Amino acid sequence: MIVAKEYLQSYGIRPSTQRIAVMHYLLTHRTHPTVDEIYHELVEEIPTLSRTTVYNTLHLLYEHGAILALSIDEANVRFDGYTHPHAHFLCCGCGKVYDVDLDDVAFVQRNTPKNAATITEAQLFYKGLCNVCSAKRQN
C-alpha cells in the first residue's frame, strides 16, 4: 500500500483510503480491468465503497496521467467506409476525426501479438488538439 500512496502523491493526488486502494489494485493487477471489475474486487475490503467513487477516482487518476484508459470495447462507435489501412486522429477541441497516413504500413502486421492465432482487426489512433483548435485557444 505504501507504494500506491507515494505513487499518488508523486502525481499530486491526495491519497485517501479509496484512492490508494484503486491505485494499488491497478499497480498489482496487470489485467486491464473494467470499472466493474475494480469495484467488485475492492468492495470486499471496503464494504462501503460506491461505484461513483471508483468512477471519480479513475477519472482523477487518468487526468493526472497516473493511469492509461483503453477504449477497446465497442460503445459510442464511429464508422468509416474507407477500409484501407490508416490511423485516426480525434481532435478533442472540435470533436472531428481525421485520417492519418502511415509511413510504414507493415508496422502493424509486423507487431502482431505473439500469442495471437488470428487477428480480426487492428486500430491505431491519436487524441489531441488540431492546429485550428489550438490557434483558437491562444486567443
Partner DNA sequence: TTCACTGCAAATCATTTGCAAGGCC
Partner DNA sequence: GGCCTTGCAAATGATTTGCAGTGAA
Which residues in the 75-94 window bind its own copies by CB under 8 A? 75-83, 87-92
Stretch in the footprint of DNA (CB under 7 A) among 50-58, 85-93, 113-121, 127-135: 50-58
Of 32, 50, 51, 94, the one binding its own copies by CB under 8 A: 32
* Residue nearer to DNA on the CB measure, 10 or 16: 16
Based on the shown chain and the rule CB under 8 A, indicate whether residue 52 belongs to the binding site for its own copies: no
Of 26, 49, 61, 66, the one binding DNA by CB under 7 A: 49
**DSSP-derived 3-state class of residue 115:** coil
Q: In the structure grid, which three cell numbers stand for residue 21, read together?
A: 486502494
Task: Give the count of alpha carbons within 13 A of 51, CB side only.
Answer: 5
Q: In the structure grid, which three cell numbers stand for residue 32, read together?
A: 486491464
Task: Give the count of alpha carbons within 13 A of 43, CB side only.
Answer: 13
Stretch in the footprint of DNA (CB under 7 A) among 4-12, 70-78, 106-114, 119-127: 70-78
Asked whether 28 and 64 are in contact (CB, 8 A), the reply is: no
Query: Could you give the string, one character per residue 96-125, with x where binding to DNA holds by CB under 7 A and - elsewhere?
Result: ------------------------------
- What is the maximum alpha-carbon separation in the chain? 51
Task: Give the count of alpha carbons within 13 A of 29, CB side only.
Answer: 14
Q: Which residues bind DNA (CB under 7 A)?
A: 14, 16-19, 34-36, 46, 48-53, 55-57, 59, 74-77
